[in-house]
Amino acid sequence: MGEKRRFSCAALETCRTTWLPILLTLLLGAILRLAALDAVPPGLTHDEANNVVDAASVLGGARPFYFPVAQGKEPLYVYSAALVMALVGPTPFALRLTTALWGVVLIAATYAWARRAFGRSTALWTAAGLAVSFWGVSTSRVGLRAIALPVLLTAAVAVSRLTDARRPRRWEVVGAGLLLGLGLYTYLAARVTPLLLLLFGPYLLLVDRARWRQRWRGWLVILVVAALAALPLLLYLQAHPSAAIRVGQLDQPLRDLWGGNPRPLLDNVLAGLGALSWRGDGFIPYNIPGRPILDPPMSLLFAAGLLIALWRWREPAYGFALLWLVVGFFPALVTGVDAIHLRAIAAQPVTYLFPAIAIHQLLATAKSHARTLCWLLLLALFAWTTVHTARDYFFRWPNDRDVRVHYHVDLIAVGEAAAGWADDLPTAISARYPGEYHDPRLLQAELGGAAASLRWFDGQHGLLLPPAAARLVLPANVPLDAALWAAVEPAATLLETVPLRPDDLTPFLAVYRWSPPATRARLQASMAAAEQPPQLPVDVGGVLAFHGYRLEGWSGEPGSSFAVLTLWEVAAPLPAEREAVLFSQLLNDANQVVAQQDRLDVPSWDWREGDALLQIHHLTLPANLPPGRYALIAGAYTTPDRVAAVLAGHEPDPATPRLLLTVQGNPAGDHLLLEFLVIDSSP
């Protein structure tokens, strides 16, 4: 009986000292990652919306190997979100819940790795630092794929046992390689993580040849298995180079260095190093601009732990941690401090190791009477950090106007209003980014299939005219051009005004019941007074019909600006792999362009047969334009839709052909001659 009681007491003591602290740490980390997940961040970003739609498509049966939307996305996170959606539904909340779960797992993986490499005390302080940090919380609550990278990398390092005294078993070596390879399916920055293993081999050969002789086979197996696991992705990207174009947008400093100019890279490195403790990420969607990764007390502990690690660099665990820190921050040091919260996320677990090293050393060397005081001070520090993080993240950051802009609270308000509309009127929304994978995706993510009745245009430069009565939504920050509003106002009746915050960029939304046919008749009547090309309408490529134009603000003075309003009707939608652009040009006698604008603000991805659209092009005459007669022309051309082409399994066609004109069945070239304009040199 006595032995059983002693065993029970020992088990309780083990639970209290070993498991209870990490369980409490995980609980605190989970609370910070799950609390108010449906309200903070306050809306939805374009990238999150695309992830919601992509994950919902997987839930619906799609199985793409790579997601080309938004410069390309690795698939693992999206598939994990689809699994969560299978349980809670295809909603933005499910996406953020996915991220939060990855974030909690990251705390556990960080503890497991650090415990094996540095012991239980250091591991607990490392996990606690990550759990309550602003960086850890912010990246664990936004629906982006980056969070999966440090989880798989940390798990790979923990399983590999490369820095442990005990040799890893075969399954651990293979598992580490598999996890490292799968990490490349998470986020762009994962492509540098194999460097960590590649650099560790020569390091170990340098500092501990006896261990190198014992471990080199396992080290090599990890790299080979990782390469095999990543090979399908690498082959896919090689076959579809346009699937992932982000690298070419971010590697300019390296290209400058290769060309003999190290200054851009040096500036990025200095700014990136400063982001740890002085001036941090300025990109407000993920951070309070300028807030460093580590607050002052944690920065001091980080510096102390870094010095200890440098002093002990010959010990494999410390050497590996130093290499991890450098490799993890490398993508951010190359691309710059903005968005460092995401681009350096591979270094997130090891960043909080260095303060933990200093804390462990402090507690280990403190005399018994001072150790209690140290414990109290450290607990107070972590409590202060927790409160500081909660205050900044849940109360200060989400109420910033620019955060609300980036998370598109105005469009989320449109979605909430649309959910309450009982009629089946189509809804035309004026939006700053009406492209298929931008603002429309936000409401597709919010409303699902109900978003199909929403139509999109940018009212500052164009107007969509559906063929029948419609609802018109005009956010305060995307108003109609004055010429458009003059045509719309007589045919529109205000239904409601949806208020947002007075200091928002969009303080309100105006919702109208509208008659597009009446607006179209008014526009055509105003154009009838202008000299029109003969035999209207003109067929344009079988997809558009040209119905007229008029000029606004024409003075004929060099240096002045004027607007060209062109009216079109959709005869048929474009193929999914092409996007249309409208152009207006002013040509001299030699057919040289002296003024032009190419844009389409009623995007062709949303065209439906019977729609009409009005486009406004603003042209500016050169100040030194000589007098004479100039031809004003208009037309349309198409450009490749990269995303549609990649999803169809091939590279996009780079051609941008103009659509050919037909008048009464006869070919009429590739542009419309609207009229000749005269520039007069007289005062």
* Both tokens assigned to 145: 């794929």
In the chain, the largest separation of any two C-alpha atoms, in whole Å, equals 115
Kindly state whether residues 564 and 621 are assigned to the same domain. Answer: yes
Highest mean pLDDT among 64-68, 613-617, 651-655: 613-617
The number of angstroms, rounded, from the C-alpha of 312 to the middle of its chain's C-alpha atoms is 39
Distance CA 482, CA 496 (A): 21
- Other CB atoms within a 10 A radius of the CB of residue 130 amount to 28
Q: Is residue 40 part of a domain?
A: no
Backbone angles phi, psi at 433, to 5 degrees: -130, 80
In the block, tokens 């299939």 appear at 449
Kindly state whether residues 398 and 431 are assigned to the same domain. Answer: no
Question: Is the separation of the CB atoms in 284 and 403 below 8 Å?
Answer: yes
Q: What is the CATH number of the domain that holds 661?
A: 2.60.40.10
Q: Is residue 41 part of a domain?
A: no
Kindly state whether residues 484 and 615 are assigned to the same domain. Answer: no
Kindly state whether residues 317 and 418 are assigned to the same domain. Answer: no
Q: What is the reported pLDDT for 2?
A: 59
Kindly state whether residues 386 and 242 are assigned to the same domain. Answer: yes
What digits encode the pLDDT tens for the residues 58-75?
A: 999 999 999 998 888 999
Q: What is the mean pLDDT of residues 231-256?
A: 77
What digits encode the pLDDT tens for the residues 203-235?
A: 999 999 988 998 899 999 999 999 999 999 999
Kindly state whether residues 85 and 226 are assigned to the same domain. Answer: yes
Question: Is the separation of the CB atoms in 526 and 515 below 8 Å?
Answer: no
Surface-to-core class of residue 316, CB atoms within 10 Å of its CB (0-12 exposed, 13-18 middle, 19+ buried): buried
Q: Return the ∠ at Cα 14 (arms to 11 and 18), rounded to 5°.
A: 150
Q: Is residue 39 part of a domain?
A: no
The parent domain of residue 364 ranges over 2-34+47-402
Kindly state whether residues 255 and 276 are assigned to the same domain. Answer: yes
Kindly state whether residues 564 and 516 are assigned to the same domain. Answer: no
Q: What is the mean pLDDT of residues 590-594?
A: 94
Kindly state whether residues 292 and 177 are assigned to the same domain. Answer: yes
Crossing angle of helices 148-160 and 92-118, rounded to 10°: 30
Q: Is residue 354 part of a domain?
A: yes
pLDDT at 437 over 90: yes
Q: Is residue 92 part of a domain?
A: yes
Kindly state whether residues 24 and 52 are assigned to the same domain. Answer: yes
Q: Is residue 326 part of a domain?
A: yes
Domain finish residue from 492, 520, 548: 520
Q: What is the reported pLDDT for 70?
A: 81
Alpha helices in 16-75 (DSSP H): 20-34, 46-59
Q: Is residue 549 part of a domain?
A: yes
Domain finish residue from 370, 402, 434: 402
Q: What percent of the chain has pLDDT over 90?
A: 77
DSSP label of 584: E
Closest by Cα among 564, 441, 645 to 454 = 441
Domain finish residue from 344, 370, 402: 402
Kind of pairing, strands 538-540 and 612-620? unpaired
Kindly state whether residues 369 and 454 are assigned to the same domain. Answer: no
Kindly report the pTM of this predicted structure: 0.93
Q: What is the reported pLDDT for 603?
A: 97
Backbone angles phi, psi at 672, to 5 degrees: -100, 130
Kindly state whether residues 206 and 164 are assigned to the same domain. Answer: yes
Total structural domains in the chain? 3
